[in-house]
Structure 1
Amino acid sequence: MTTVSLSSKDQLTIPRNLLDQLGLTAGSRLQVSVDAQGRLMLVPAHHEPEELFRNHPQVKRVLSLDDMERAIAAAVARQRP
């Protein structure tokens, strides 16, 4: 495990070997959270959520949860011998 220090400007410097291991470069974005044990979690944010849907067609039909459950049950029933 690697230890890092918090600077006087409240910044962390991630060691080069970890940056290389994660494929991070200057400008890379990280998702930050604290887990149930109080650990700081840094996860590479390879995509912003809105980017995932930017070029997808607009939704024209909305299904209720009941409709979705019926469709799933029908698909499962079709796959059974």
Structure 2
Amino acid sequence: MATVDQIKNGLIDKILNIQNKEFLNALDKIISASFSVNQTELSDSQKAMLEMSNDDIIHGRTISQEAMNKRNLEWLNGQ
């Protein structure tokens, strides 16, 4: 099985031979998006909020955007 360094070097060799600018731009976007996703660290409270949100979805404790808009308008008109 190849090591991480071997994989990186193989990719570098392949990239150096690519002449298609559009392909390279697309590859750059993919790598940049992947890098920023992998570098994001969530705090414990953010993780807890996501878990609570997921639990709400699983148990059907959600409302539509339309219903939320109606609630907001009712609340604003009641002020």
Shorter-chain TM-score range: 0.3 to 0.5
Length-normalised TM-score, structure 1 = 0.32
Q: Which structure has the greater CA radius of gyration? A: 2
Structure ranking higher on relative contact order (CA contacts 8 Å, 6+ apart): 1
Length-normalised TM-score, structure 2 = 0.32
Q: Larger % of helix: which?
A: 2
